[in-house]
Every structure is written in structure tokens, then in C-alpha cells.
Amino acid sequence: MHAVEKLPLKNDWMAVVFLSILALLVVVKVLYPNRFKSLLACFFSKNYFLDYAHDRQEILGLFHMVLFLIQNMILGLFLYLYSEETGFFLEEKGFHVYFKYVIFATVCIVAQYGFAKGVSLFFRFQRIFETCNYIKSSYLKAGALFYLPVLLCWIYAYPNSQTMFYLALFLGGFLWLIRWILILLFNIQIIKEKLFYFILYICTLEIVPVVLLVKWMV
């Protein structure tokens, strides 16, 4: 008989994070079964945005808040693993560093939302902002859930694989690209009617914050 290699225990806190994410997903699934199922299918169908359009301003509802937390926990894991693999912006390791990444992701998203909200009120294109933000945030939540199995494979199945590292980056970029293609297709009518405001939204509220963030990190 061959001995089974024991998994290293240095990442025990990651197992706790995954269990916490799964527990929160169970809560959402039990409380909002139909809505949760519809959200997972939003990449393939517009039913979620049509059926729950009346909730687009309900950002403090339980459904949105729990999924927002899950989303940021997954983003924090990705940032931590990327930094661990590349050594970029990572001087220490452990849960406290991961927690900082979760806070960092949360602050960035909240700050961008607040800034975007203010600009939309100033230039009076609230309708475009509310529609795009609702669709964008929904795709981000669903994309994070789809990315969760990739992180599990990255950590436990192929922890030191360069191939898995590049595959994870490729899949993350692919989900991001598909998300934006779907956002553009979903808002094609608004784009035609309000092209100037849509370009203003994309440039000032999407491109500029990312450029500033990358410049700050570099």
C-alpha cells in the first residue's frame, strides 16, 4: 500500500474561509432559493434582471449584503493567492493579511460606488448609473461564485502549479471580459439613446479608478 500524502496545515485558515463562504451560501440558498438560482443563471439569461428589476436600489437588503460579503471574501482569496505566487505586495502571510485584502476589496468597491453615485447625480444620468451598476454588481457576484471552484483547485489540488496559476488568471480575465460584453449588450438601447453619458460613465467611473488603482499599487 502506498502512503497518502498528508495535506499541509499551514493554510488551515483558508479551510475556515471556504467553510464560512459555503455556510453563507447555504443561508442564501435557503432564504432565497429562486432568486439565488436565477442569479447563477444571469450569464446565460436575462430573467434575473427582469424579474428583480424592482430591487435594483435595494443595496442594503440581506440578499445583496450576504452575497457582497461572499464576493469580497473570494476576491480577497484571489488577491492573496496572486500575491503569494508572485511576491507582489506581500511581505507576510496568514489570515491577517488575507483579511486586509478583503477590507481593501470592500473599500475599493464601496468608494467607487460612492464616487460614481455622486458623479451621476451631478451630471444627471442616474438612470444609466443605476441600471449599469445593478447589472455590473450582479455579474460580479455570479462571476465570483463561478470562480470559487477555481480557487479550491488552485489551493488544494494544484498548490504549486504554474499551469494552474496561469489558468486561474486566464479564467478570471475571461469572466471579466464576458461580464463587460454582456453589460454592453444588455444596455445597447441606452447606449444608442445616451451615448455621451454612457461614454462619460465608462471613462470616469470604470477606467479612471482602475488606472489610478494600478498606478498606486505599482
Cα gap 173→213, rounded to integer Å: 17
pLDDT, average across residues 88-114: 83
Question: Is 2 a member of any domain?
Answer: no
Question: Is 163 a member of any domain?
Answer: yes
Torsion angle of C-alpha atoms 32, 33, 35, 38, degrees rounded to 10: 160
Question: Is 74 a member of any domain?
Answer: yes
Cβ contacts of 172 within 8 Å, gap of 6 or more? 78, 147, 150
Predicted confidence (pLDDT) per residue in 7-56, tens digit: 444 458 999 999 999 999 999 999 999 999 999 998 888 888 878 777 65
Strand, coil or helix: 102: helix
Predicted confidence (pLDDT) per residue in 159-186, tens digit: 878 888 888 888 888 888 887 787 777 7
Cα gap 25→98, rounded to integer Å: 20
Mean pLDDT estimate for the chain: 80
pLDDT, average across residues 76-101: 82
Question: Is 7 a member of any domain?
Answer: no
Q: For residue 80, which of 171, 168, 181, 178 has the smallest C-alpha distance?
A: 168
Number of structural domains in the chain: 1
Question: Is 5 a member of any domain?
Answer: no
Question: Is 6 a member of any domain?
Answer: no
What confidence tier does 2 reach under pLDDT thresholds 50, 70, 90? Answer: very low
The boundaries of the domain holding residue 139 are 12-217
Question: Is 3 a member of any domain?
Answer: no
